[in-house]
């Protein structure tokens, strides 16, 4: 019984570091570039205003997105999209679902 527990603990210890590497890695240069871009629209890191941190960073990101013409997740996309698809023909339907 002790060997099963040891094997489970060893397996867990080996899987945890692998799972942490699955996350995307960004470089220090990318972080510095993002901070420089946020500072260019008026956001100041470490200004001591902890009470309004979420609103301040979100406002700065919104200004940055508006300046760069980018849209955030769920924003309106430029271009056209089509919802749904054409009706399936009877022969295709029969080929898929008839026996």
**Torsion sign over Cα 8, 10, 14, 19:** positive
* Residue 80 within a domain: no
For the segment 29-83, what is each residue's pLDDT rounded down to a tens digit?
998 999 899 889 888 887 777 777 888 888 888 998 888 876 555 555 566 656 6
Q: What is the mean pLDDT of residues 15-26?
A: 66
- Domain membership flag for residue 14: no
Q: What are the CA-CA distances from residue 59 to residues 32, 77, 82 (Å)?
A: 19, 20, 32
> Is 88 within the bounds of a domain?
no
Is the residue at 77 inside a domain?
no
Domain count, the chain: 1
């Amino acid at each position: 019984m002790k060997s099963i527990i040891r094997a489970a603990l060893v397996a867990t210890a080996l899987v945890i570091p692998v799972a942490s590497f699955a996350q995307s890695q960004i470089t220090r240069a990318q972080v510095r570039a993002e901070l420089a871009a946020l500072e260019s629209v008026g956001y100041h890191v470490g200004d001591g205003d902890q009470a309004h941190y979420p609103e301040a960073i979100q406002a700065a990101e919104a200004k940055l997105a508006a300046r760069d013409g980018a849209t955030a997740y769920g924003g309106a996309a430029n271009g056209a999209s089509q919802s749904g698809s054409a009706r399936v023909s009877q022969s295709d339907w029969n080929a898929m679902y008839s026996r």
